[in-house]
Amino acid sequence: MNPTPADPLPLGEYSRLLESVYQGPLETPPWKSFVEELRGLMEASFVTLILRPAAADRPSVLVLAGPSKIESVDLYDSRFYQLDPFQNLPRGRIVTADDLLGERVWLESVIYLEYLKPLDIRHILACDMVPSEPGEDCRLRVTRGHGQPAFDERDKALMALLMPHVRQSVHLCSHMGNIKLERKLFAGTVDSMQVGTVTLDEKGVILSINSEATAILDEKDGIALVGGALKADYGNENTQLQKLIQTALAGTRDASEKTVMAEAMSITRPSGRAKLGALVRIIPAEEHEDAWSRPKVAVFLRNAEQKASPSIDVIRRLFDLTHAEASLAVLLTNGLTLDEASEQLNIRRNTARAHLRSIFSKMGVTRQTELVRLVLNSVGQLG
């Protein structure tokens, strides 16, 4: 099939180009395959996808295909972006340099003479995407050199076909990025609370293990990974653990946000240390999410001997304590006596008692148990 301005590429080439657009969010850097593919199809010298334009207080974020050097990008970010006539184009409008300024004005412009001409850039085809959501700014620039033809209606038609797909791909990438950030945030919160987490798919296959769970399992004291599966050391407890997991897996089909099964058990440690706590919980899903393999069950593990680890700096700011007072409060929260805490802090007992009186006053409590409760229930654990 021969391409026309309304159909600027053969179907196979256009299909391959679109595939690279939607593959973009999964690549590092994103859309690298797309800009390389587009550069070849349009016989361009450079193709640049600008994900964040340069500003006085920050450099640009872009994906570039072409024989450019980092010095050229730095030079643009530090000076020439201020002279760029393609800044803040009307959204969705596709223009060339000659369209925007006229040939004579363009070829006499400072940015062309001092920046672009030495890079052998004569023709520019540009479009600023209409964002799907605020902040999803994206700009596409395609260039050709002095010995190449100017961009024509077929080139503009191709860009017009591409930009809605680029827009959708950018939106998907932004959405995926937000999900990843939320996952990191919540995973970090769970880690800071010293809770081990193991997730399983619908077949009971382990999908993920966080650092706290890894530490517990590596000790092989009560529970361990055996053949890629969780197994408790003692037969009766292992039977109970497997039953809880299988019951949870069977219940995932009917689970909803309002009815989420969670069952707990203790796991004996052969070493004689305090028992581990285990909680098996269904991870609810929407109907169509079950079409793909995904976490279905979470097993939470907690070492009862694990000391609380509230941030001293957060506790200090939260309750307006001095650093010495916050350090003492954290040690008392971890179960140390006042004598043990004063020895660890290398201070006299009378000094520790004076700190404790000040802590009581600032936190509005009169007993050490109340102090511990306030610290453990505060956001200090998340710092």
- The pLDDT assigned to 88 comes to 83
Residues of the chain with confidence (pLDDT) below 70: 1-7, 68, 70, 189-192, 252-261, 286-293, 307-308, 381-383
What pLDDT score was predicted for residue 5?
Answer: 57
Question: What does the alpha-carbon distance between residue 290 and residue 294 come to, in Å, rounded to a whole number?
Answer: 7
What is the structure's pLDDT at 254?
Answer: 55
pLDDT at 278: 93
CATH number, domain 11-179: 3.30.450.270
CB 297 within 8 A of CB 255: no
Quote the pLDDT of residue 2. Answer: 47
Write out the residue limits of the CATH 3.30.450.20 domain(s) in the chain: 193-303
Query: Which residues of the chain are in CATH 3.30.450.270 domains?
Result: 11-179
Q: Give the CATH number of domain 312-382.
A: 1.10.10.10
d(CA 300, CA 278): 6
How many Cβ atoms sit within 10 Å of the Cβ of residue 301?
A: 24
Residue 258's pLDDT is 47
Structure tokens at 141: 């620039």
How confident is the model at residue 300, as a pLDDT?
93
In the chain, ranges of CATH 1.10.10.10 domains? 312-382
The pTM of this model reads 0.68
Dihedral angle computed from the Cα positions of residues 100, 106, 109 and 114, in that order, rounded to the nearest 10 degrees: 120
3-state SS class at 155: helix
Specify the fold of 193-303.
Beta-Lactamase (3.30.450)
Tell me the C-alpha distance between 318 and 321, whole Å. Answer: 8
What secondary structure letter does DSSP report for 90? P
